[in-house]
Structure 1
């Protein structure tokens, strides 16, 4: 009943009530897996709140001593991984080795998410392809697959995937997200926005398409519309720090530094371990001519990037260039 009530509030965009209902469903029954899916896939909770809540559920009381570790590991691999890389990897190993779930689509999906977070696009693509061999239309992993194709500039493969999804799953949000991403890649921005908008009409909580919608405005320097799209994403997907970060970037581009500071700080309060965000905060301090503070943020970003970003990450070029600018000014 708690889960059903939360689902109803989802339709009404009553986000706080949604979170309360799904959390209550867990307190009533830890095995209410649908509530976990809703909380994590809709990105309802900020990272710290998500980890604190899921890690302290009464697994032993509800699942028994023999099954508690099984449910705990299955749940942990669904969570955000900015500050908990080692915990996620440990949960993945337990699921694979202790419970024989190496070929589980959920476990493979978790591995792909970790790789994508580290910008290891080729490795993530390989895992997504393995998932597609098991289930070609496992919709949970298709957005990861789309991102990898986009970042690796595999235009033909992205077009073929989008066409296949249109033919087979034309009532799914991820289908029109794929079409939108293809149009974003070929710089047909108005077409991209049309398809991203169609995706969010099907699933109003689809974060990837809201961000794509904003990016398509940002690419044409339509700052107001981009900010509007990111702001709607932030409202509907309150657990993500990315919309606020992108709003901050839009204000930076307009040299509206006070507004940029508000949104970058808001993003930082949700996630303080994203090197991309720390780089943007360094840009803010650079524009304010606060070079020591900019250097501190760049060093923090570099420390995180060395641990979590692959050589293919597009962060490195930005990071080293910004180091050069800051040292030059100092």
Structure 2
């Protein structure tokens, strides 16, 4: 997994204008920038997305909306993020990159009824998808049914999709909330291996802090 700096340096090392006409090169470069991690150069990424939305009239494009979702989620602006994920899913209910973020936002905002209905809809539409059972597990976790959530996240979600990082993170949370750091760290470590996002590493550090393993937490 490339760091934010490596991503930024890589995109700016590409010679778009040597292979394409100016307008095409500019369009491709703005697309690449909009998809970068949102930990650094946020203003530049916002400017790139604005160009794509306005100059190229892509305000309803799924990839551009997903870039905005990623930014809001990274900044923990869950309410605003949910508004954009809702819009995106209205355009593309099958967007696999958006679904887990939408579910997590519902959970973070404690939207029990909405999460229940959304999970129910996914069960009807995609009963054989890991993301469906991730949503069911998140609902159970939200209403305090940790054991049931654990069974669903590990027994169904991670089994149907062994590379479903969010399911392993959720599985870890069911242990973390019960102050079982060893099991939580094991689950988070699995998520860290199979995922491209940074939060599992953060959660591992938090568990080491809770267990007073300061050296490992660093």
* TM-score normalised according to structure 2 size: 0.90
Corresponding residue to 2:73 among 116, 127, 135: 116
With 169-178 and 214-223 compared, the bigger mean Cα shift is at 169-178
Q: CA deviation at 1:161?
A: 0.3
Corresponding residue to 2:163 among 179, 200, 205: 205
Between the aligned partners of 1:58 and 1:172, the Cα distance in structure 2 is: 40
Deviations 1:56-96 (A, max 9, x none): 22323444433111111122222210112112101111111
Between the aligned partners of 1:175 and 1:231, the Cα distance in structure 2 is: 22
Q: CA deviation at 1:139?
A: 2.5
Counterparts in 2 of 1:55 and 1:195: CA distance versus 1, 3 Å: farther
Q: CA deviation at 1:162?
A: 0.4
Check if 1:228 corresponds to 2:169: no
Check if 1:79 corresponds to 2:33: no
Q: Say what the alpha-carbon RMSD is for the aligned residues.
A: 1.9
Partner of residue 105, structure 2 = 148
| Cα contact 1:214–1:229 (8 A) shared by 2 | yes
Check if 1:193 corresponds to 2:144: no
| Cα contact 2:166–2:191 (8 A) shared by 1 | no
Higher RCO, Cα 8 Å, sep 6+: 1
Report the structure number with the largest CA radius of gyration.
1
Partner of residue 211, structure 2 = 254
Between the aligned partners of 1:252 and 1:80, the Cα distance in structure 2 is: 26
Q: What secondary structure does 1:163 align onto?
A: helix
| Cα contact 1:46–1:240 (8 A) shared by 2 | no
Unmatched segments (≥5 aa) in structure 2: none
Between the aligned partners of 2:120 and 2:205, the Cα distance in structure 1 is: 35
Between the aligned partners of 2:41 and 2:130, the Cα distance in structure 1 is: 29
Check if 1:168 corresponds to 2:125: yes
Q: CA deviation at 1:216?
A: 1.1
Between the aligned partners of 1:169 and 1:56, the Cα distance in structure 2 is: 41
Partner of residue 174, structure 2 = 216
Between the aligned partners of 2:13 and 2:75, the Cα distance in structure 1 is: 27
| Cα contact 2:168–2:191 (8 A) shared by 1 | yes
Between the aligned partners of 1:159 and 1:90, the Cα distance in structure 2 is: 37
In the TM superposition, what are the counterparts of 1:315-330 in structure 2 within 5 Å?
none
Corresponding residue to 1:177 among 129, 134, 152: 134
Between the aligned partners of 1:193 and 1:83, the Cα distance in structure 2 is: 34
Partner of residue 63, structure 2 = 106
| Cα contact 2:78–2:108 (8 A) shared by 1 | yes
| Cα contact 1:112–1:127 (8 A) shared by 2 | yes
Unmatched segments (≥5 aa) in structure 1: 1-43, 262-330
| Cα contact 2:131–2:157 (8 A) shared by 1 | yes
Q: CA deviation at 1:134?
A: 1.7
Counterparts in 2 of 1:153 and 1:176: CA distance versus 1, 3 Å: same
Q: What secondary structure does 1:149 align onto?
A: helix
